[in-house]
Amino acid sequence: MKFIRTKAVALFLLFFSISPSFAKTEIHWWYGNSGFLGDVIIEIAKRFNESQDDIVVIPTGKGSYEDNLSATIAAYRAGDHPHYTQVYDAGAAIMVAQVKNGVVIGFEEMGEKYGIDVNADNYIPQVKNFYADADGKMIGVPFNSSTCIMYANMDILKKVGVDVPTTYEEFEEIAQKIKDAGYIPLVQSHDPWIWTENFFSRHNLLMTDGNNGFDDVPTKTLFSETPEFITHWTKVKEWHDKGWYAYKGRGWGDNQAPFNAGEAAFWFGSSGSFGGIKDLPINFTTNQIPYWSSITGGKAYPTFIGGAANWILNGHTEEEYAALAKFIKFMGSPEMDLYYHNTTGYTVVTKGGGQLAETINFYRTSPYHKTAPEQLNLEGATIPGGYRAGNWPQIREVIYENFPKILTGELSVEEAMKRTDEGASKLLAQFAKTL
């Protein structure tokens, strides 16, 4: 008899431990971060799931940004797509173009329907503009937004007896000293993002026609038509020849490795790289990316954001979207924004997060986090806060196929730029056909 009762109790418990999960609304969130950043995403979902009882967010990592975008598209075509997916900067044009096809639900539209206070002005301008459509309506939900910044190894600088440069002119003055001391003066991790796209934004120059694609569908990139850009890469080639700049292939990590090992004085990377290197035994600071004072007349302009946004995909139930709205609200809260900023080094995306940081004096204890938001909030830019160019992932490939040839001397700077422009024009035309 006792045995039966135990069994009954066990069954009863089993029933109740299972049944609530049937009632919960499942939200699938796919992402393209791995390693440390992937862990943080899992942590965010966990915190949300623990904060309430009705909704379960299930994060699934698909590898890299590129992997996640192609996985999302394949899933969409098969009718088995997630509710929420992370798509990176270069894929923004592809996703924004999908609103009219009913694949993507715009952030503002979602907000109106499910009562999220979107208020585009609550986002810092560079973030707001990057994932908005031509009318300035926000489409992507801002998430991990970084920008390229300069990491400086202070031990090396101290040893050599020089300061952190703010302009490339200043860098040129100290580079030889660093090299003579036996260090690599400069490494950087991303030709297209750092030294192409963000060269243009940092110097307030247009990168494509059609006002960076915000006014008209772009037909060409302006690389070979921009003398400032040609000058910059002529300098880069010069630095490479002098041993002031070392290029380690196109791998992000391969270029970062000398900095991590304490062999390079400066590394241009993402502000989102901070979380991954903060515990390394090197004494470093974060600084704004340098600019040519001769080009801007001594003024610094904001860079574009990099990283990714989350996008809401169509084709699920009302109930699920209401649940997703709650999750979006949770993630957009100042506390979560600051939590993510603090853990990863990605910038705060909301003004609320920024204010919270001020209120609690966050930057006094973590001054290194301040670099990216400060750089992004610089004022006075006349170009749009992003670019809207299709097939951009492939245009980046064209850049990778031509720019390294400048360094090896196989192509002159002008010729490399011309070939890149030609390749890009074809790809832009190919994309324009599908609009």
Partner 1 sequence: MKKVQFKSKYTQYIFLAPTLIIISIFLYLPIVQTFRDAFTTQDAFGFGRFFAGWDNFKFVLSDPSYLVALKFTFIYIFVITVISCSLGLLLAVQANKVIHGKSAYKTLLIWPYAIAPAVVGVTAQYFFSERFGILYALFNSLWGFDWTANIFDAYIYLFIAGSWKQISANFIFFLAGLQTIQKSVIEASLIDCRSSLRRFWTITFPLLMPTTFFLVIINITYGFFDTFGIIDTTTIGAPSGETKTLVYKAYIDGFRGLDLGAAGAQSIIMMLLVLTITIIQFRYIERRIHYN
- Segment contacting partner 1 by CB under 8 A, of 11-19, 32-40, 292-300, 397-405: 397-405
Helix or strand holding residue 284 (H, E): strand 284-287
Site for partner 1 contains 75 (CB under 8 A): no
Candidate residues 320, 397, 414, 415; the one interacting with partner 1 per rule CB under 8 A: 397
Candidate residues 77, 79, 227, 281; the one interacting with partner 1 per rule CB under 8 A: 77
* CA distance linking residue 271 with residue 337, whole number of Å: 15
| Residues between 240 and 279 that touch partner 1 (CB under 8 A) | 247-251, 254, 257, 261
Please, what is the minimum distance in Å from the beta carbon of residue 5 to partner 1? 51
State both tokens at 393. 């992932």
| Closest listed residue to residue 202, CA positions, set 103, 126, 308 | 126
Q: Quick one: 204 or 234, whose CB is closer to partner 1?
A: 234
Site for partner 1 contains 393 (CB under 8 A): yes
* CA distance linking residue 399 with residue 190, whole number of Å: 10
Q: Quick one: 176 or 408, whose CB is closer to partner 1?
A: 408
| Closest listed residue to residue 73, CA positions, set 97, 51, 56 | 97
Please, what is the minimum distance in Å from the beta carbon of residue 2 to partner 1? 53
Q: Quick one: 137 or 248, whose CB is closer to partner 1?
A: 248
State both tokens at 158. 């101290």
Site for partner 1 contains 417 (CB under 8 A): no
Other Cβ atoms within 10 Å of 221 Cβ, number: 30
Candidate residues 185, 269, 353, 423; the one interacting with partner 1 per rule CB under 8 A: 423
Angle at 389 between CA 313 and CA 429, to 5 degrees: 110
* CA distance linking residue 378 with residue 170, whole number of Å: 21
The per-type count for the chain, helices as H runs and strands as E runs, is 22, 10
Site for partner 1 contains 391 (CB under 8 A): yes
Q: Quick one: 147 or 256, whose CB is closer to partner 1?
A: 256
| Residues between 174 and 213 that touch partner 1 (CB under 8 A) | none
Please, what is the minimum distance in Å from the beta carbon of residue 315 to partner 1? 12
| Structural contact between residues 305 and 89, judged by C-beta atoms closer than 8 angstroms | yes
* CA distance linking residue 57 with residue 12, whole number of Å: 27
Please, what is the minimum distance in Å from the beta carbon of residue 363 to partner 1? 34
DSSP state of 385: S
Please, what is the minimum distance in Å from the beta carbon of residue 122 to partner 1? 30
Q: Quick one: 174 or 398, whose CB is closer to partner 1?
A: 398
Q: Quick one: 356 or 411, whose CB is closer to partner 1?
A: 411
Beta bridge partners of 150: 268, 287
| Residues between 320 and 349 that touch partner 1 (CB under 8 A) | none
- Buried-state track 400-429, b at ≥16 Cβ within 10 A, e below 16: eebbbebbeeebebeebbbbbbebbbebbe
Candidate residues 39, 401, 414, 415; the one interacting with partner 1 per rule CB under 8 A: 401
Site for partner 1 contains 418 (CB under 8 A): no
State the sign of the Cα–Cα–Cα–Cα dihedral 312, 315, 318, 323. Answer: negative
Residues that bind partner 1 (CB under 8 A): 66, 69-70, 73, 76-77, 94, 97-98, 101, 103, 247-251, 254, 257, 261, 391, 393-394, 397-398, 400-405, 407-408, 419, 423, 426-427, 430-431, 433-435
